[in-house]
């Protein structure tokens, strides 16, 4: 198994408060990992710290991606190295259409000019799979989109940008069963043996069709338990009380 991401003893502050208190995590190519945990346990902080969001300060530890230390790399560099994050609340960007944004980002990520025809075909294919209306392509990015449209749009970006590691932060929150199924389908389309997925969630609905390799329980800034898919089931039945 080839190692893709390794997080070592990561401590992170947000607003001068320590949120992550020594996280260790290793993700190999071909794996699906899940981080579960109660609200405020540091799930979103973990995702933001990997992409080095300047609002989160790392006080200790390191992040190695594909053999390179990216602990202090800029967010856009990290993205270009192949890490993608699906946001819990995607930002609205007025005046920039979905299609132009995708084209622009793809050009930045691949460093190559985007071939318009192929690009259109590719995007259309993904949109069909995700049950998205292609009329939305010319609309401003996320502006006035429903929760479901925003989340599907994140998955669409993941498919088009085709990262080595996709971090999905609460992608399932606020979605109904059908939408979760569609999003899962998108993740399955993306997933292969050369890339990896890190799913951050606090419920288990999305996991039923995805079959995670590892489930980590994050409580109060630390991973308190790591297990297989069975662990998610246990949480579904009994909650986090046991780990608090």
Partner 1 sequence: MPKTNVNEINRNIYDIKNKDNYDFKIKKGLTEDIIKEISNQKEDPEWMREFRLKALEIYNKLELPTWGPDISELNMDEIATYVKPKTKLNSNWEDVPEDIKNTFDKLGIPEAEKKSLAGVGAQYDSEVVYHSMKEELIKQGVIYTDMETAVKKYPELVKEHFMKCVPIYDHKFVALHGAVWSGGSFVYVPKGVKVDIPLQSYFRLNSPESGQFEHTLIIVDEGASLHFIEGCSAPKYNKVNLHAGCVELYVKDNAYLRYSTIENWSKNMLNLNTKKAIVGKNAQVDWVTGSFGSKISMLYPMSILNGENAKTEYTGISFAGKGQDLDTGFKVIHNAKNTSSVVNSKSISKNGGKCTYRSLVRINENAKNSKSTVSCESLMLDDISISDTIPTNDIRTDEVEFSHEAKIGKISDKTIFYLMSRGISEEDAKAMIVRGFAYPISKELPIEYAVEMNNLINLELEGSIG
Binding residues for partner 1 (CB under 8 A): 51, 53-55, 74-76, 78-80, 84-85, 87, 90-91, 93-96, 101, 104-105, 108-109, 140, 157, 161
Spatial strand order of the sheet with 165-169 comes to 83-86, 165-169, 196-201, 32-36, 214-219, 222-227
Handedness of CA 93, 79, 160, 146 (dihedral sign): negative
Task: Quote the least distance from Cβ 235 to partner 1, whole Å.
Answer: 28
Burial class (CB in 10 A: 0-12, 13-18, 19+), 48: buried
Nearest CB to partner 1, comparing residues 9 and 138: 138
Nearest CB to partner 1, comparing residues 15 and 237: 15
Nearest CB to partner 1, comparing residues 87 and 243: 87
DSSP label at residue 31:
-
The DSSP bridge pattern shows strands 32-36 and 214-219 to be parallel
Nearest CB to partner 1, comparing residues 168 and 235: 168
Nearest CB to partner 1, comparing residues 9 and 76: 76
Task: Quote the least distance from Cβ 207 to partner 1, whole Å.
Answer: 24
Task: Quote the least distance from Cβ 32 to partner 1, whole Å.
Answer: 21
- Does residue 40 come out as left (phi exceeding 0), alpha (psi in the -120 to 50 range) or beta? left
Helix (H, G, I), strand (E, B) or coil at 231: helix
Nearest CB to partner 1, comparing residues 91 and 230: 91
DSSP E strands: which ranges in 15-136? Answer: 17-28, 32-36, 56-65, 68-69, 83-86, 93-97
């Amino acid at each position: 198994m080839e190692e893709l991401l390794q997080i070592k003893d990561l401590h992170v502050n947000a607003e001068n408060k320590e949120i992550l208190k020594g996280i260790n995590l290793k993700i190999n190519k071909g794996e699906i990992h899940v981080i579960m945990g109660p609200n405020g346990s540091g799930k979103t902080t973990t995702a933001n710290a990997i992409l080095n969001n300047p609002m989160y300060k790392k006080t200790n530890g390191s992040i190695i991606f594909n053999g390179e230390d990216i602990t202090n790399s800029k967010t856009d560099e990290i993205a270009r190295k192949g890490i993608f994050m699906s946001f819990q609340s995607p930002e609205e960007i007025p005046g920039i259409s979905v299609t132009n944004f995708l084209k622009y980002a793809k050009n930045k990520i691949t460093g190559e000019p985007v071939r318009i025809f192929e690009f259109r075909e590719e995007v259309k294919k993904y949109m069909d799979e995700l049950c998205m209306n292609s009329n939305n392509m010319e609309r401003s990015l996320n502006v006035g989109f429903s929760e479901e449209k925003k989340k599907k749009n994140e998955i669409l970006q993941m498919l088009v940008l085709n990262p080595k590691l996709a971090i999905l932060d609460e992608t399932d929150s606020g979605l109904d069963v059908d939408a979760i199924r569609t999003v899962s389908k998108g993740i399955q389309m993306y997933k292969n043996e050369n890339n990896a997925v890190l799913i951050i969630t606090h419920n288990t609905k999305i996991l039923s069709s995805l079959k995670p390799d590892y489930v980590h329980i994050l409580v109060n800034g630390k991973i308190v338990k790591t297990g297989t898919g069975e662990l998610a089931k246990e949480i579904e039945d009994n909650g986090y009380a046991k780990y608090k």
